[in-house]
């Protein structure tokens, strides 16, 4: 008999472990890349600052260095003067080492005097690229080297090769800086480990819940299988009672098929099983909070009911978002194209978020001209995107305005329906907009504390828009509000089959 629990336990444990490791690795890679970019900017600023102080004085020495021998370069007065000029400039800066090359790649100066006079270095390609005016950076771990302050061991550094231009704009030399990022790399590694431990803990809870469900299903299947075996044995032993045994066998077969269908329905409708009890909790909490059956006393019970309802709605939203996102990522989300009344759709979406707008003191308006007619798309997904965008606008706006504008356009032979959701809320930097479309992403931790939410809404909106062959754009500024634009093309009915595949 197939070992369902064993197979599921092993495969799901491996899958969750791989996902946790992948997420931790992705976080580390993303953070290190950001560190490298930040250090590149810092290196360029430091190089320009140093060059502004010393280059006019020592540029002739760099240009004529190729005419001297390595030994004469080391002991030249310019080398000592250059070393003395650089020392105060890099004091208390994270610069561990400085090298200066001429445009041919000759080491004119190095804080490690043994390297003066060498041609190129360990990275001749980087020096050559910098000599052509292209800044180059590389993150590496150094076992040991002679730095400005003496012998240095076990350091993570960003090696920056940056061109130095003269007054004419031509490249006259190349600076190589070792920027110390050891502490920042250690912090990234520490955070990565914490993230990995947290993910493993979260996935362990999820794993335990899934194993419990599968074990229960396996017990049901095993019990049914044993029942069938017993009935088959009875049939063999009681051949003389063929008619009775055949009847019992038919009953057992029907029971087994019904149980199999029930198991399949149970596994396929987990989302329904999760949502149904929550809906009941939310419904009863609203009955109590709204005092439908009479006044609630003492008053704190009313507050408890409101808290229960809010928590239930939050959890229901989280479950729905996670399940929808999982379906999209697994390619199981189907598109059902049909004709949609645009005005009715806009009005329905606005009515859905109207209570939240009123609760926050916002003015909600719709600009949807008569005669827009019908659009062809998936009504449920389009409505879901609009409600999510309007809900975000209502949530992040207090005492302001939320406006839904709808227009029809035609481009490249395709009819498009364009929805604009504008608010006068808190807004955000345009540079953060793309990050907001990532899963579990919000502006910062203070936003989560103030407004709540999981950061899944915009991610699902974008996935739905792409599924409908459209796209979402956002424009925003801190303190000036946000404008979200949803563009959806008219789809033909063939899109149903294509999406299902």
| pTM for the predicted model, two decimal places | 0.40
Structure confidence at residue 78 (pLDDT):
85
Q: Identify whether 230 is part of a domain.
A: no
Do 372 and 448 belong together in one domain?
yes
Structure confidence at residue 399 (pLDDT):
93
Q: Identify whether 208 is part of a domain.
A: no
Do 393 and 458 belong together in one domain?
yes
Structure confidence at residue 382 (pLDDT):
93
Do 126 and 142 belong together in one domain?
yes
All residue ranges of the chain with pLDDT < 50 are 1, 260-269, 440-441, 443-454, 497-501
Which residue bears the tokens 């760099």? 62
Beta-carbon contacts of residue 88 (< 8 Å; ≥ 6 apart): none
Q: Which residues pair with 145 in a beta bridge?
A: 152
Do 426 and 496 belong together in one domain?
yes
Which residue bears the tokens 């996670």? 322
Do 364 and 448 belong together in one domain?
yes
d(CA 419, CA 407): 7
Q: How many domains does the chain have?
A: 3
Do 41 and 121 belong together in one domain?
yes
d(CA 270, CA 267): 6
Last residue of a domain, one of 188, 219, 238: 188
Structure confidence at residue 375 (pLDDT):
94
Last residue of a domain, one of 135, 159, 188: 188
Q: Which range marks the domain in which residue 280 is found?
A: 272-329
Long-range own/partner contacts, residues 61-68 (CB < 8 A, 24 or more apart): 61/108, 62/100, 62/102, 62/108, 62/172, 62/173, 63/102, 63/172, 65/102, 65/106, 65/108, 66/102, 66/104, 66/106
Residue-wise pLDDT for 48-88, tens only, equals 788 778 887 888 888 888 888 888 888 888 888 888 888 88
Q: Identify whether 250 is part of a domain.
A: no
Last residue of a domain, one of 188, 222, 255: 188
Structure confidence at residue 494 (pLDDT):
62
Structure confidence at residue 394 (pLDDT):
92
Structure confidence at residue 82 (pLDDT):
82
Q: What are the tokens at 320?
A: 């729905």
Do 345 and 305 belong together in one domain?
no
The single-letter DSSP state of residue 66 is G
């Amino acid at each position: 008999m197939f070992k369902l629990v064993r197979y599921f336990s092993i495969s799901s444990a491996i899958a969750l472990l791989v996902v946790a490791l992948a997420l931790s690795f992705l976080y580390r890679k993303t953070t290190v890349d950001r560190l490298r970019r930040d250090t590149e900017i810092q290196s360029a600023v430091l190089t320009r600052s140093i060059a502004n102080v010393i280059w006019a004085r020592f540029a002739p020495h760099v240009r004529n260095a190729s005419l001297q021998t390595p030994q004469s370069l080391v002991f030249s007065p310019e080398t000592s003067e250059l070393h003395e000029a650089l020392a105060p400039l890099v004091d208390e800066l994270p610069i561990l080492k400085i090298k200066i090359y001429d445009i041919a790649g000759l080491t004119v100066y190095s804080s490690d005097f043994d390297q003066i006079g060498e041609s190129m270095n360990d990275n001749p390609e980087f020096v050559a690229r910098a000599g052509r005016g292209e800044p180059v950076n590389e993150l590496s771990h150094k076992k040991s080297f002679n730095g400005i302050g003496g012998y240095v061991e076990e350091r993570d550094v960003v090696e920056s090769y940056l061109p130095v231009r003269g007054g004419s704009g031509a490249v006259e030399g190349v600076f190589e800086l070792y920027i110390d990022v050891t502490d920042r790399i250690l912090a990234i590694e520490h955070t990565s480990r914490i993230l990995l431990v947290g993910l493993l803990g979260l996935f362990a809870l999820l794993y335990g819940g899934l194993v419990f469900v599968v074990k229960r299903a396996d017990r049901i299947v095993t019990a049914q299988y044993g029942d069938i075996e017993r009935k088959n044995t009875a049939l063999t032993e009681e051949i003389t009672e063929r008619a009775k045994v055949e009847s019992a066998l038919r009953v057992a077969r029907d029971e087994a098929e019904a149980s199999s269908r029930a198991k399949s329905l149970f596994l396929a409708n987990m989302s329904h099983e999760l949502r149904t009890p929550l809906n009941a909790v939310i419904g009863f909490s609203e009955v109590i909070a709204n005092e439908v059956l009479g006044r609630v006393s003492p008053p704190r019970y009313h507050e408890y009911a409101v808290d229960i309802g809010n928590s239930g709605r939050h959890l229901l939203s989280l479950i729905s978002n996670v399940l929808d996102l999982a379906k999209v990522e697994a390619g199981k989300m189907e598109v059902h194209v049909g004709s949609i009344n645009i005005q009715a759709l806009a009005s329905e979406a606005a009515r859905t978020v109207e209570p939240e707008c009123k609760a926050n003191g916002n003015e909600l308006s719709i600009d949807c001209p008569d005669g827009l007619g019908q659009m062809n798309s998936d009504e449920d997904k389009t409505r879901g995107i609009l409600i999510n965008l309007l809900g975000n606008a209502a949530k992040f706006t207090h005492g302001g305005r939320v406006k839904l504008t709808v227009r029809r356009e035609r481009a490249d032979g395709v009819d498009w329906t364009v929805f604009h959701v504008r608010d006068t809320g808190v807004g955000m930097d345009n540079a953060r907009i793309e990050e907001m479309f990532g899963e579990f992403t919000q502006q910062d931790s203070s936003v989560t504390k103030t407004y709540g939410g999981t950061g899944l809404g915009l991610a699902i909106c974008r996935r739905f828009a792409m599924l409908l062959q459209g796209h979402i754009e956002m424009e925003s500024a801190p303190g000036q509000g946000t404008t979200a634009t949803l563009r959806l093309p008219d789809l033909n009915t063939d899109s149903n089959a294509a999406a299902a595949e």
